[in-house]
Amino acid sequence: MHALEKILAHHAGLKEVKAGEIVNCKVDIAGINDLYPQTMYSFWEIGGEKVANPENVVIFLDHYAPPSTIKAAQTHAEFRQFAREQGIDKLMDVNAGVCHQVLADKGLVAPGKLIVITDSHTTTHGAFGAFGTGVGATDLACILKTGELWFRVPRVIKITLNGTLQPGVYAKDIILHVIGKVGADFAIYKGVEFAGTLIPQLSISERMALCNMTTEMGAKTSYIQPDEVTISYLKEKGVKEYNIFMTDPDYEYEEELTFDVSEIKPRVAAPFSVDNVYDIKDYLGTPVDQAFLGTCTGGRLEDIAVAAKILKGKKIHKNTRMLVVPASMETQMEAIRLGYMQDLLEAGCTFVTPGCAACLGTHEGLIAEGETCITSSSRNFPGRMGHKQGKIFLASPATVAASALHGVITDPTPYLK
Amino acid sequence: MVSRIITGKMHVFGNNIDTDQIYPGQYLDVTDHKEMAKYCLQGASDKFAEEFQKGDIVVAGTNFGCGSSRENAAIALKVRGVGAVVAKSFGRIFYRNAYNLGLPLIICPRIDEIAGHGEELTIDMDRELAINNRTGKSVEIEPISEYAMKILNAGGIKALLNPKRS
């Protein structure tokens, strides 16, 4: 069995599971975010009265933090009341940040856990050797009622990344490169495991970026075998209980792909799909109206650090605005403590409340008709960040910062040698 | 029980129609299902809202419903009255959401061979075929899994889990 299968088997109380089989699993973390009050409504509609395991439930007020419409404010009020009535202590209010980063910061993610959130990027938690997967509101309501959910055991694809990254190249460039090669529907219904000589060189932050973006190739979940980097992160967060599963040597992967990352240059995904990927040289000089640094994909401390390194003592271009959205409150406080926030504010950046912000086109930095945005977030679909005729380029945090500096899409490499 | 034969006029879309296009982010704070239905597929087509008639079938290429987990996308299609969605493949969260709501999604890897905007399509679940009624040409559809069929036959997961409700 694959480690991902073993996690499902463990949570289903079974010795063995097979790909394609439908199993009912106990869920360790059931996360609800503030886009989906439908979760509460569905819970009542299926006859829910008392939440099965309120200690396993986390509510995140992150996508509308703080609310920009009266309806969103109303939803937040309903969630707070629901949390009080149901004894849900883990309510992450508008100051906390994006669900995935908050879970990591608070040590709520650990190897072997089954994590289900009403957010498609729940694949992020594969970075810790957990089984993370996104669902809709009604599926989450089923977990609230029973503590369990059905899963079809996925087949697993192995992506081996060998080599060492060149200066100016990051996990985001690598995952964009891979998605550009395999396509946005490559891994539908499947798990994606990352292995190879690159992985031990990657921090947890970079691993999270890789696993996060597997959603954009359709993956159900992702996985990186926990190692010393993982263990040291868990120690730092005071996580003592975890369960590391190992893939059996005779496990047969659905497919195995290998990439040499040493030759890869910075990448961009051009409008309007995540698999529309090019070498940055093909788009150098494209004017940029907005640079966006943030989200569960690219708003972690390391991402802000590299932007600060590029922009310290300089001014961003007069034709470009740059939004910086720390992924979580913890990220924000560290960014202040380390002076990055000061550097970025002095360079002319705008700070936004930790959360999802403009990524999904709800508030806090939308783009107008015909405008171009370069972003460290995950999606460049039509209308994703505002007007349908707005253009979104996906890139690494370094590329976002270098592009803000020059007002055009810029290769960050010269700043990072 | 859900009907084993679904017939409707086709509205044809391309590949990778994500849930942002099915249900744009600017309406995510809407909680009323009837209002959600008004914005159905607004991000993908300017004409859909006026051309659509209840029972029509949405036809697409690969990866329909990829992207965000927003159940609003499936709710908007269901409440708008879409009879079924036929595509080469579906985003997995959207797939679960749609079945939970009792909206049939049909996987049909060769649908592009018979798709015609405004033409009538019949989905025959017993013969596992999709048929263009104008040309008479048919292609195979993938059978719906037993588990998904159980949810569909109950009229959605809510009715399955709480039979008292309906």
Structural domain boundaries of chain A?
3-259, 267-415
Q: Which residues of A touch B76 (CB under 8 A)?
A: none
Selecting from A47, A360, A382 the residue whose C-beta is nearest the C-beta of B68 gives: A360
CATH of A267-415, one of 3.30.360.10, 3.30.70.2740, 3.40.50.850, 3.30.499.10: 3.30.499.10
Element (H, E) at A208: helix A204-212
Q: If you write DSSP's letter for every residue of A286-309 in order, what string do you get?
A: -B-SEEEEEHHHH-SHHHHHHHHH
By the 8 A CB rule, do A285 and A318 touch? no
Q: Cβ of A368 under 8 Å from any chain B Cβ?
A: no
Selecting from B28, B147, B157 the residue whose C-beta is nearest the C-beta of A22 gives: B147
In degrees rounded to 5, what are phi and psi of residue A219? -65, 150
* Plot region of A294 (φ>0 → left; ψ -120 to 50 → alpha; else → beta): left
Chain A CA closest to residue B97: A136
Instruction: Spell out the per-residue pLDDT of chain A, length 417, in tens.
Output: 999 999 999 999 999 999 999 999 999 999 999 999 999 999 999 999 999 999 999 999 999 999 999 999 999 999 999 999 999 999 999 999 999 999 999 999 999 999 999 999 999 999 999 999 999 999 999 999 999 999 999 999 999 999 999 999 999 999 999 999 999 999 999 999 999 999 999 999 999 999 999 999 999 999 999 999 999 999 999 999 999 999 999 999 999 999 999 999 999 999 999 999 999 999 999 999 999 999 999 999 999 999 999 999 999 999 999 999 999 999 999 999 999 999 999 999 999 999 999 999 999 999 999 999 999 999 999 999 999 999 999 999 999 999 999 999 999 999 998
Q: Which residues contact B141 (CB under 8 A, 6 or more apart)?
A: B86, B106, B107, B108, B123, B125, B128, B129, B130
Q: Which residues contact A289 (CB under 8 A, 6 or more apart)?
A: A319, A320, A321, A367, A368, A371, A372, A373
Paired with A42 in beta bridges are none
Q: How many CB atoms lie within 10 A of CB A252?
A: 10
Chain B CA closest to residue A141: B158
Separation between Cα atoms, residue B16 and residue A210, nearest integer Å:
21
Q: Cβ of A188 under 8 Å from any chain B Cβ?
A: yes
Contact B69 A218 (CB under 8 A): no
Q: Name all domains of chain B by residue range, CATH numbers in brackets.
A: 5-165 (3.20.19.10)
Separation between Cα atoms, residue A14 and residue A23, nearest integer Å:
9
Contact B66 A138 (CB under 8 A): no
Q: Cβ of A59 under 8 Å from any chain B Cβ?
A: no
Contact B96 A188 (CB under 8 A): no
Q: How many CB atoms lie within 10 A of CB A69?
A: 15
Contact A69 B30 (CB under 8 A): no
Q: Do domains A3-259 and A267-415 have the same CATH topology?
A: yes
Q: Cβ of A221 under 8 Å from any chain B Cβ?
A: no
Selecting from A42, A118, A185 the residue whose C-beta is nearest the C-beta of B62 gives: A185
Selecting from A38, A69, A382 the residue whose C-beta is nearest the C-beta of B21 gives: A382
State how beta strands A131-134 and A90-92 pair.
Answer: unpaired
Topology of the domain covering A3-259: Aconitase; domain 3 (3.30.499)
Contact B20 A384 (CB under 8 A): yes
